Amino acid sequence: MAKINPNYRKLSAGYLFPEIARRVREYTTAHPDVTIYRLGIGNTTEALTPTVLQGLHDRVDALGVRETYTGYGDEQGEADLRAAIAAYYAARGVTLDPGEIFVSDGAKADAANVQNLFAQESVMAIQNPAYPVYVDSNVVAGRTGEYDAESGSYAGLRLLDGTPDNGWFAPPPQRAQDEVDVVYLCSPNNPTGAVATRQQLTEWVAYARQHRAVIIFDAAYAEFIADPELPRSIYEIEGARECAIELTSLSKFSGFTGVRLGWAVVPFALRAEDSEEGELNRMWNRRQSTFFNGASNIAQSGAAAALSEAGQAESRELVAYYMENARIIRSALRELGLDVVGGDNAPYLWVKTPHGPDGQPLGSWEFFDQLLHEAGVVVTPGSGFGPAGEGYVRFSAFGHREDIEAAVRSIRERLKL
């Protein structure tokens, strides 16, 4: 008699974004004439750029001719793309072997699957707030107990609480009883828009090396970093390749959210307490060869084009476009007296909820509802990213300029602060 994996039942509520969609649908059904401005999901809106389009079309053409048709490729990615990714890192001073790079269909899948490399009893430490996939994948994998609505977390998970004081990056644990085995860090962070400083990452790398912990470093938003002092890859920190896996994506840099292309870096030097030399790299290779059959070859050619000199220049224009959106939102919200961080090195703005009529700060979902009902603006409640996000909402800077401007106008004119 088949029985189900009971861990699915532990998952709290729905996934965050379906719940947002439900509330928006409910509201628009009741108010069909209201214009809705979507600054919730971090979804790209601008067209793919000419160099990428050419790369995609060229590959489709090649697939239409038997002499240039290709079927299954290497699960790890096509050799030219892996070389292009290595060159992309090299231009930033980070030397990687193509054998350390694993092309995937995006950072979300890698972020969810990477936990499978580690022992079931591992103590997983996850930034709070953070992208929900880190937590949810570990719940499904059975590494947690039940959800506790009071604390907003799951038994057995270690949350690393971000606060305004620590710049939304908690320092490594100090006490022996707080020791952790695997640490998820996302910088630039989704949702807070905060970027870990060189000093903060250096402390984490030192901790990981000392305690043989492994850092999962999600750098999906690295290209939004404008400040040259801020690290864009964890491998800019000395010793990181012994203790860190990096996940990256072209989703936000080159508009590949729908095309699907990302990669994981699993260095040969990466070590766990009980691993042999290069074993984690070989394990990820085995996982990808067994559970994955390579990213779409068309997407891979698009990615190679995106990483060409011309492609990168065009992608940087896309980033600049979204960052101007962020500037527009930030300055408007600050003019209204709201407390805003992020949006300078990341496409997300992290906004403290204002005080309600009772003089207390609104909850995340309360401010979400207020923005929706008064201004027709959809944001993402900070509490959806973890308990430390309570009292905040996330504004996404992805959108057409005219929609961003209209949303900002609607907030200025209609939001009752």
- What residues from 107 to 136 belong to the interface with a second copy (CB under 8 A)? 108-109, 112-113, 116-122, 133, 136
Number of residues that bind a second copy (CB under 8 A): 85
Stretch that binds a second copy, among 71-79, 82-90, 226-234, 365-373 (CB under 8 A): 71-79
Least distance to a second copy from the beta carbon of 339, Å? 29
8 binds a second copy (CB under 8 A): yes
Query: DSSP character for 272?
Result: -
Name the strand (E) or helix (H) holding 16.
Answer: helix 16-30
Q: Which is nearer to a second copy, 16 or 326 (CB)?
A: 16
Q: Which is nearer to a second copy, 312 or 353 (CB)?
A: 312
- Determine if 158 is a binding residue for a second copy (CB under 8 A): no
In the bound state with a second copy, the residue whose beta carbon lies nearer, of 24 and 63, is 63
Contact call for residue 320 and a second copy (CB under 8 A): no
Q: How far apart are CA 110 and CA 342, in angstroms?
A: 25
Is the Cα torsion angle 106, 19, 48, 191 positive or negative in sign? negative
Does 95 help bind a second copy (rule: CB under 8 A)?
no
The smaller minimum CB distance to a second copy, of residues 56 and 159, is found at: 56
**Cα 105 versus chain centre, distance:** 14
Work out how close the CB of 141 gets to a second copy at its nearest, in angstroms, rounded to a whole number.
9
Q: Does 149 bind a second copy (CB under 8 A)?
A: no
Greatest alpha-carbon span in the chain: 72
Pair 174, 207: CB distance under 8 Å:
no
Of 158, 287, 327, 373, the one binding a second copy (CB under 8 A) is 287
The rounded distance, in Å, linking the Cα atoms of 348 and 9 is 31
Q: Using CA atoms of 272, 273, 277, 279 in order, give the dihedral in degrees to the nearest 10.
A: -50
Q: How far apart are CB 413 and a second copy at their closest, in Å?
A: 26
Query: Of these, 196, 250, 299, 319, which contacts a second copy (CB under 8 A)?
Result: 299
Give the whole-angstrom CA distance, residue 414 versus residue 417.
9
Closest to 367 measured CA to CA, from 327, 409, 386, 395: 395
Please count the other Cβ atoms lying within 10 Å of the Cβ belonging to residue 365. Answer: 18
Per CB under 8 A, the list member of 140, 269, 336, 406 interacting with a second copy is: 140
The pattern of x and - marking residues 196 through 235 that bind a second copy according to CB under 8 A reads: ---------------xxxx---------------------
Nearest-Å Rg of the Cα atoms of the chain is 22
- 355 near a second copy (CB under 8 A): no
Instruction: Report the C-alpha gap between 297 and 261 in whole angstroms.
Output: 10
Residue 74 C-beta: closest distance to a second copy, Å: 10
- As measured in angstroms, the least distance from the Cβ of 416 to a second copy is 32
Residue closer to a second copy by CB (options 141, 329) is: 141
Q: CB-wise, 145 or 356, nearer to a second copy?
A: 145
CA 18 to chain centre: 18
Q: Does 182 bind a second copy (CB under 8 A)?
A: yes
Q: Which residue has the tokens 């691993």?
A: 275
Locus of tokens 């224009």: 317
CB-side neighbour CA atoms (13 Å) of 253: 26
Q: Within 13 A of 205's CA, how many CA atoms are on the CB side?
A: 23
The verdict on 170 binding a second copy (CB under 8 A) reads no
